[in-house]
Every structure is written in structure tokens, then in C-alpha cells.
Structure 1
């Protein structure tokens, strides 16, 4: 198989642009550069994989000689998965740095609350949970689907 000059030039341009963009200071540009380098690597694997052939399924016949090599396909699939994982990680870093930049001088620390405020909030939360439980029990008591629950609710009352 002869490699297409267009694919070789495209791969070289992707590598060049990707590495140039990765040298910028912004995390977003680093992410874009990394994605370009990942796609250039997939093109490189495609170009060096050898001649195309039939599907890589071994049947034990003489036509297996024209079978394509499955290793480059596996390498390309692995490169795609690794590229996706690192892209997700860098996106998380970008979001975290944006979040910390929005907080300003406060940073990641949480200001101390008075214990009275915390206790009042906790009591309000438990009151809301108790009201929710009572509403659920009332709906179950009124429905015909749970006759056993009605008896238990009447016993509690």
C-alpha cells in the first residue's frame, strides 16, 4: 500500500498545529492541541498499518493470507479511548480552574457558620423530611393498592 500524500501532509499539519497550540498558556488551547495530536496519531497508525485486506477473521482457509493485520486497528481503538479519557480529565481541570477563578480570594475554603444557624437549618431539614413522610403515608392510606399499609397507619394513629 502506498500512503496517500494528502494523508501524510494532513497528519504533519495536525501534529504541527496541535503541538503549537499545546504550548499556549490556556488550558482550553492545551485541550484543543491534545485533541489534534490524538487525531494525528490515529492517522499515523492508519498510514503505517500496511496494505488493506479482508476482515481479520481466521477461518483456516488459504484466503487468510490476504487478511488485514488487526493490531493497528486495536492500537487505533486504544488511542481513541485514551484520548477520550484524557480529554475528559482536562475538561474537569478546566472547569475546576474556572470555578476557583470565580471564587476569587475566598478560594476553596468555606466560611465558618454559627452553630445556631447550623442547628436551625438541620431542624428545618428534619421537619421537611417528617412532613414528606407523613404525606407519603397519607397517600398510601388513601390508595387501594396497599391495604396492609392502611391498617398499620391506623394502628399508629
Structure 2
């Protein structure tokens, strides 16, 4: 398959994933940014990393006031808690609630089920190659983002 066709398929997958997230987020009155924040928090939890307002804002490219508004929305919706760090009381740490995990499971179980069914048609070797491909595409996208010129001129 030509590179262009593969990249087009990757772009189509990204668009369809975005459409899915938009559809499920609207069923629970969540903004796209809310979903991105929760996804970031899930990834951080898997990596056993602490999430602070600063890390969250940086990850989502939000200003400090926008990050505060986001945290307030998620807090009011019962999706996140804020706690003072035991080591440094000046630091606030964010955590997802059980409610957020339950909502996430409800929203993303259909997607996971369909993707798992699709993966079932591939051998271990093919899935390993696909994993390597996706990992390389993520790294290339991150490198391209870092190459974007900052500011005018």
C-alpha cells in the first residue's frame, strides 16, 4: 500500500475517533476538552504519575484561567477531585472519581468491543507490526508538533 494511502487511512481513523468522542461526550454534557482532560488523567494514572493543574493545563495547551474553569466543570460534574499533596501542601493534585470511571466505561465500552472484534481478525505478528506502526506514527506526530514555529516571524 502506498504511503499516501496509509496516511489517508490513518487520518480517516483519527476523524472517526473524534466523531465518536464528540457523539459520546454530548450524551453526558461533557465538552471536548473535558474528555481530553479525563483521557490525560487516565494515561497519567496508568503511568503512576501525579496530575497537577499545571500539568493538565500544559498537556491540553490551556491558559491558567481556562484550566481552572475546566477543573471547576469536572468537579461540579463529579468527575474529579482536588487534594493537597501530603508532601507539599502548596501543591494541588487532581484525581478522577469512581463516577468518572463508570461514565468512561459506559461511554467507551461499545468502541472497545468493536475495536477488539476487529483486532481478532489479525495474527499476533500482524498486531505487533500494527503496534509498531502506530507507535512510530505517534512519535512522528509529536516530533512534527515540536517543529511548529512559535509565534510570528
Work out which of the two has the higher radius of gyration on C-alpha atoms and give 1 or 2: 1
* Both structures adopt the same fold (TM-score exceeding 0.5): no
Q: TM-score, normalised by structure 1?
A: 0.22
Higher strand share: 2
Q: Which structure shows the higher helix fraction?
A: 1
